[in-house]
Each structure stands twice: as C-alpha cells, then as structure tokens.
Amino acid sequence: MQAPAAAERNKGPILAVLRQYVGSGTHTGPGVLRVLEVGAGAGLHAAYFAQALPQTRWQPSDIDPQALRSIAAYAEAMHISNMLPPILLDVSQSWEMWGGIQPNTLDLLVSINMMHISELRCTEGLFKGAGVLLKHGGVLFTYG
C-alpha cells in the first residue's frame, strides 16, 4: 500500500466537505449514494472516505495498474465492505469506456489531485463524463 504524505494531510479536510454533500440529499430515494472516484491513486482517500461514509458505494478507479493494486490492498487491509474493486479508467476516453457505468446513475463523482497534473484532455473528459453519468442534482467534486 502506498501512503502519499499529501493524501494523509488533506484527507480530513476533504472528508469534512464531502460530508456536506453526502448528508445533504444529493441523491433521491432510499439506498446508498453511488460514488465514482476518478484517479484514486494509491487508494488512501478511497479507503478513508468509504470507511467514513458507510452510506456510500465507493467505486475507485485509476489509469495506473500499480495504483489499482494499492487501492485493492487498502480495501482488504481495512475490511471496507462498501468499496468496490478498483477499475482501470482513462478519464480522457469517452464515458462509454468507464467500466460500464450508465448515464444518470452517479450521485457523486470525485476527482482529487488529478486536473493539475494531467493533460487538458483528461479534465475535458472528466467534465464530459460528469455531465452524462451524474444524476440530476449529483455533484462533481474536485480538489487540487
């Protein structure tokens, strides 16, 4: 498991803001909130947020196979039942290539520390995907 120092430092403040959205009725109807985290990296955030927000069904993703292994290791080590296995996702590709996620099914799309280190086409893909995959009233949450 990788443990980036920046992720360790900012996980608490980010969680405080995420709680505002998770607890504010961003989804309609009963059940869990569907969350896709794009560019989950090492997985520290995904594991921390999924564990702290049990009302979510957290789907981590990344383009790097090594990151996917780290994400899976976090989920296993922390016994997180509401975190799905990580998926390989290239955010610059069309949303149809995003692991079978269907339009209007996500309550929250999370992207942390991706936009400032990736190519513009990744940011464009993130916004295009969010426009299709988020439910009405869903939130695209970005940080960094």
Residue 61 in any domain: the answer is yes
| φ, ψ at 85 (rounded to 5°) | -60, 140
The position carrying tokens 């990736």 is 118
* pLDDT of 143 over the 70 cut: yes
Residue 20 in any domain: the answer is no
Q: Where are the beta strands (DSSP E) in 10-105?
A: 33-38, 56-62, 87-88
How high is the pLDDT of residue 32? 87
Residue 56 and residue 50 in contact, taking contact as beta carbons nearer than 8 Å = yes
Res. 141 pLDDT band, cuts 50 70 90: very high
Residue 116 in any domain: the answer is yes
How high is the pLDDT of residue 113? 85
* pLDDT of 25 over the 70 cut: no
Residue 17 in any domain: the answer is no
- Output the pTM of the full model: 0.90
% of the chain residues with pLDDT over 90 = 74
Mind listing the pLDDT tens digit for each residue in 62-108?
Answer: 999 999 999 999 999 999 999 999 999 999 999 999 999 999 999 99
Q: How far apart are CA 1 and CA 44, in angstroms?
A: 8
Region label for 31, one of left (φ > 0), alpha (ψ between -120 and 50) or beta (otherwise) = left
CATH at 117:
3.40.50.150
| φ, ψ at 36 (rounded to 5°) | -115, 125
Q: Kindly report which listed range (26-30, 53-57, 84-88) carries the lowest average pLDDT score.
A: 26-30
Total structural domains in the chain?
A: 1
Q: Which domain holds residue 53?
A: 5-12+33-142
